[in-house]
Amino acid sequence: MTRVAVIGAGIVGLSTAHALRKAGADVTVYESGAPGSGQSAGESRIFRHAHDDVRLAAFVSESRALWRGWEEEFGVELVSGAGAVAIGDGVEGKLRVLSSLPDIPVALLAPAELAAALPILAGFRGKAMLDANGGAIRTRAAFQALTRSLEGALVQDHVLAVQHIPEGGAEVRAGSSADRFDHVVLCAGRGTAALARGAGLDIPVELAAHARVTFRVRQDAGVPLPTFQDGSGEFGETGVYAAPSADNRHYAVGLSETTAVRQDGSLADSAALDSLAARASAYVRRALPGLDPEPAGYVHCWVTRLPWGDDGVGIWSAGNVSAVAGHNLFKQAPALGGALAETALTGVVPPILRPGSHLGKS
């Protein structure tokens, strides 16, 4: 049986481990904290098909089918059925990209339809669309299901080094162990580039920090809330995203903007997260009168971005070590996990995910 180590129990690491188990591998997952405590933290993520790069839209569409498969396998809803709404002039470009792919139901929304779908939004008469198969990813349910299915494979320890072994395979040096595997997959989020460098892989990842703020829905919205992206500028911001909690009583709102991090890992401006959070609250006051603008919770987290775009993703592999990097990976985790498992078991990275493919370029 092929022995594979996965470093990191974020959504990508767990998806990889799940795919490896299904393929018959013997998997060990190393995680220094709690599963889902890194960039995957917090309740809800947006599942949307629209991406600038049509290849990524197609990959994400494959992932949507896999999320459905998991829903059947685990017997729990993992992506809400309420859809993904986007507003602003960018909507036409999104529709153009999606119309070239089969089976992605998207439609323009008239102002009254938008108001019915998203009653917490202030009046808006510009361009709006609904991606009917998009929706809010139930992050907590996904972690619960995946960790349960991987029982016995999870090791709580911090990995300090991964290195190739001359006779074949790779070694994982963790806080209290040194073990050998046929292949090691690095899914360590912020920790991936450093571990990869030690194994001879150079990943051009850029680190930033991000703030997302959760707000209470003032009164029963009456409909399951869709996710939301606003690129219109109508309410004073041109890059806003938002997603409902599983109980439909909270809505998490963030600016797509991130704040810079220095080489040593410190924030270039320590007040910047506060300012991003304040702008999210100010936006809620203007655009989302159905929400109480008093923050009810925060997610502050690191963001790892590739130089070719906010949705850029790639897999690096050399010998018996592979690594994944990118941003906005939650929605594509099932497909990405499958690709990483394939890489670990065959030694071949699927062409579309090779770094030179620049998948997800803006």
Judged by beta carbon, residue 39 or residue 357, the one nearer ligand FAD is 39
- 9 contributes a contact to ligand FAD by CB under 6 A: yes
- H-helix or E-strand spanning residue 325: strand 321-326
User: Which residues are CB-neighbours of 138 under 8 A, at least 6 positions away?
Assistant: 44, 76, 77, 78, 79, 80, 246
Pairing of strands 321-326, 313-318: antiparallel
How many other CB atoms are found less than 10 A from the CB of residue 362? 11
- 299 contributes a contact to ligand FAD by CB under 6 A: yes
Binding segment for ligand FAD (CB under 6 A), chosen from 18-26, 66-74, 189-197, 339-347, is: 189-197
Binding segment for ligand FAD (CB under 6 A), chosen from 163-171, 264-272, 325-333, 340-348, is: 325-333
- 11 contributes a contact to ligand FAD by CB under 6 A: yes
CB of 175 to ligand FAD, least distance (A): 9
Alpha carbon separation from 338 to 19, 21, 153, 175, 209 (Å, rounded): 5, 11, 17, 28, 28
Exactly one of 82, 104, 188, 321 binds ligand FAD (CB under 6 A); which one? 188
Instruction: In whole angstroms, give the CA distance from residue 90 to residue 158.
Output: 42
- 244 contributes a contact to ligand FAD by CB under 6 A: no
Binding segment for ligand FAD (CB under 6 A), chosen from 34-42, 117-125, 232-240, 289-297, is: 34-42
CB of 11 to ligand FAD, least distance (A): 5
Judged by beta carbon, residue 33 or residue 105, the one nearer ligand FAD is 33
Query: How many positions of this chain bind ligand FAD (CB under 6 A)?
Result: 36
CB of 320 to ligand FAD, least distance (A): 18
E strand map for 175-234: 177-181, 183-186, 206-217, 227-230
* Under 8 Å between Cβ of 161 and 137: no
* Under 8 Å between Cβ of 352 and 315: no
Residue number with the shortest CB distance to ligand FAD?
10
Judged by beta carbon, residue 121 or residue 242, the one nearer ligand FAD is 242
CB of 44 to ligand FAD, least distance (A): 8
CB of 123 to ligand FAD, least distance (A): 25
The residues of the shown chain that bind ligand FAD, judged by CB under 6 A, are 7-13, 30-33, 37-40, 42, 45-46, 158-159, 187-189, 191, 195, 210, 212, 241, 254, 299, 301, 327-331
